[in-house]
Amino acid sequence: MPRIFAYIVHQNGVADDSAAELAAAARKVDAGQSPAAVVTGWGAECDAVCESLRASFGEVWKIANESLAYPNAELVRKALVSVLPAGCIVLAPHSHFGTDLSPGLSIKLNAAYVPDVVDIEGADGAALRLVRQEFGGQVSAHVRCDISSGAVVTIRPGAFKPLETAPAGGVVVDKSSTVGALTAGRRYLETIAPETGDVDITKYPVLVSIGRGIQEQENVAIAQDLADALGAAVSCSRPVVDAKWMEKSRQVGSSGQTVKPKVYLACGISGSFQHLAGIKGNPFIVAINKNPKAPIFRVADVGIAADILEFLPELTAKIRER
């Protein structure tokens, strides 16, 4: 089995939650191997991340370079290609950074690429058996990957449970000198925070959240009526924002807001993992969707197979009658 490396995403000197998930995924590739962490960065923040990872990784490869102070995927890729051994397996989170880095990294390492993996079933010789999802999570797929010249695998955030293991007592190995001057055709300029909207959906204990099933902009009023009757706010999933029917500030999900309501009514929402990533605090989830196979029913507490355009007005009317 080739050597396994976990690429660690970090911010402000703290490793991302994905670090422990990658360690768990690595054990599913090869239970007998202690994976190595790879950290790129600069200065005290980079050092602090490396130090913190010693508890969960046997080795922590540090690549410190001033140009890596901000994680520019092209520069990170070049640094990794000059440091990683041929034929290794690299794990990275399937996040906005992972999708920026990993496809190109697989090409430059001449390795196979398997993105957005939700489970790993193990290896048969030079073949790794993995599980992915397609069609927005409606179906799963078994995938075989030839790892004879290495592999880059991105791991869906939240899909692998961190392991409770004894402290690894890892050592930090400084690989910085292997990396020369780095230049990229893409340069980071700044990060712009989202505009705040008219309604702060993070402050509401009850959310009426709408998805593609709302069908038309004028139907948003149907959800607003229910929200008014419940004293709730209307939030939404990505397709509603893409269609410009609601502002971005109303979007729940990894690229939108993170909410922690007590009750979440998912109305006409299929339940992509990016949307579910924005729902925290284990709320009571009611899913209403006319497709009884929608993935949202797997995570909801209560499900109703119905067309929201017919069901929501009935619910609103009954609540108002009380």
Partner 1 sequence: MEILVCTRRVPDTSENEIEMNGAGNDIERDDLVYSVNEADNYAVEEALEIVERTGGIVTVVTVGGEDDEEILRREMAMGAKNGVLLSDDAFSGADGKGIATILAAFVKKGHYDLILTGVQAEDGAAQVGGMLAAMLDYPFASLVNSIEVAPGKLKIAREIEGGNKEINEIDLPCVLSIQTGINEPRYVGMRGIRQVASVPIPTFGAVELGLNGNAGAAGAKVRRVDYFTAPEGKGAEMLEGSTEAIVDSLIELLKAKGGLN
Q: Which of residues 174-193 bind partner 1 (CB under 8 A)?
A: 184-193
What is the C-alpha separation between 126 and 2, in angstroms, rounded?
Answer: 9
What is the C-alpha separation between 54 and 36, in angstroms, rounded?
Answer: 10
CB of 4 to partner 1, least distance (A): 17
Residue whose CB is less far from partner 1, 60 or 270: 270
Of 259, 250, 252, 261, nearest to 196 by C-alpha is 250
CB of 192 to partner 1, least distance (A): 4
CB of 271 to partner 1, least distance (A): 10
CB of 173 to partner 1, least distance (A): 27
**Cβ atoms within 10 Å of 203's Cβ, excluding its own:** 9
Q: Of residues 15, 220, 241, 279, which one binds partner 1 by CB under 8 A?
A: 241
What is the C-alpha separation between 288 and 238, in angstroms, rounded?
Answer: 17
Binding-site size for partner 1 (CB under 8 A) equals: 96
CB of 318 to partner 1, least distance (A): 5
CB of 217 to partner 1, least distance (A): 12
What is the C-alpha separation between 25 and 8, in angstroms, rounded?
Answer: 13
Cβ pair 54, 37 in contact under 8 A: no
Q: Is 40 in the site for partner 1 (CB under 8 A)?
A: no
Q: Is 86 in the site for partner 1 (CB under 8 A)?
A: no
Residue whose CB is less far from partner 1, 58 or 87: 87
What is the C-alpha separation between 322 and 163, in angstroms, rounded?
Answer: 49
Q: Of residues 17, 146, 174, 200, which one binds partner 1 by CB under 8 A?
A: 146
What is the C-alpha separation between 9 and 223, in angstroms, rounded?
Answer: 38
Residues 203-232 that bind partner 1 (CB under 8 A): 205-206, 212, 230-232
Stretch that binds partner 1, among 17-25, 26-34, 82-90, 260-268 (CB under 8 A): 260-268
Of 206, 237, 195, nearest to 220 by C-alpha is 237
Q: Kindly tell me the sign of the dihedral angle through the C-alpha atoms of 141, 237, 70, 180.
A: positive
Q: Could you tell me which residues come within 8 angstroms of residue 18 by beta carbon, excluding any fewer than 6 positions away?
A: 8, 9, 93, 95, 155, 157
The DSSP H or E segment spanning 23 is helix 18-29
Residue whose CB is less far from partner 1, 60 or 294: 294
Residue whose CB is less far from partner 1, 163 or 302: 302
Q: In sequence order, what are the beta bridge partners of 264? A: 207, 285
CB of 152 to partner 1, least distance (A): 10
Q: Is 257 in the site for partner 1 (CB under 8 A)?
A: yes
Q: Of residues 14, 55, 86, 141, which one binds partner 1 by CB under 8 A?
A: 141
Q: Of residues 165, 178, 217, 258, which one binds partner 1 by CB under 8 A?
A: 258
What is the C-alpha separation between 317 and 288, in angstroms, rounded?
Answer: 17
CB of 38 to partner 1, least distance (A): 19
What is the C-alpha separation between 296 and 294, in angstroms, rounded?
Answer: 5
Site map 93..132 versus partner 1, x via CB under 8 A: --xxx-xxxxxxxxxx---xxxxx------------x--x
